[in-house]
């Protein structure tokens, strides 16, 4: 069964901490994505990557950075966590062939 695995289901971090959210896929997909999902705002794209060491800003990149050193792994970094980054974070991958995205189960991050 193909998978996108996010390292944590729940995280609680303090304001100002550096936070790493990890995502690993086992489908050899080129494309990987980070979204956040908030009530009333839906899913919003933060960053995406078409290939190793490549990254593109999505619609709301401010306050975030990403790293893709290996094809299967895409990390989202909150350089200095703030309370407005409390959200559900969803990682996804796709083969770029027009097929559907495969999402991870999500990480619910609370910044206090």
Partner 1 sequence: SQKIEQNSEALNIQEGKTATLTCNYTNYSPAYLQWYRQDPGRGPVFLLLIRENEKEKRKERLKVTFDTTLKQSLFHITASQPADSATYLCALVPTAGNKLTFGGGTRVLVKP
Q: Which of 33, 34, 64, 74 binds partner 1 (CB under 8 A)?
A: 33
Per rule CB under 8 A, is residue 1 in the interface with partner 1?
Answer: no
- Rounded to the nearest 5 degrees, what angle is found at the Cα of 91, between the Cα atoms of 61 and 46? 10
Closest CB 56 distance from partner 1, rounded Å? 8
Q: Give me the least distance between CB of 57 and partner 1, in Å please.
A: 10
Structural contact between residues 58 and 47, judged by C-beta atoms closer than 8 angstroms: yes
Tokens of 57: 């800003």
The two counts, helices (H) then strands (E), for the chain are 0, 12
Cα 11 to Cα 71: distance, rounded to the nearest angstrom: 25
Contact pattern for partner 1 over residues 81 through 100, marking x by CB under 8 A:
---------x-x-x-x-xxx
Q: List interacting residues with partner 1 (CB under 8 A).
A: 4, 31, 33, 35, 40-43, 45, 48, 50, 56, 58, 90, 92, 94, 96, 98-106, 108
């Amino acid at each position: 069964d193909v998978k996108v695995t996010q390292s944590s289901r729940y995280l609680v971090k303090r304001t100002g901490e550096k936070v790493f959210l990890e995502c690993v896929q086992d489908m050899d997909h080129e494309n990987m994505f980070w979204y956040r999902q908030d009530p009333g705002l839906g899913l919003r794209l933060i960053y995406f990557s078409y290939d190793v060491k490549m990254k593109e800003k999505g619609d709301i990149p401010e306050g975030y950075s990403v790293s893709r050193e290996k094809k299967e792994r895409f990390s989202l970094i909150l350089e200095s966590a703030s309370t407005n980054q409390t959200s559900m974070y969803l990682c996804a991958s796709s083969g770029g062939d027009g097929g559907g995205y495969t999402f991870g189960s999500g990480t619910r991050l609370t910044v206090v």
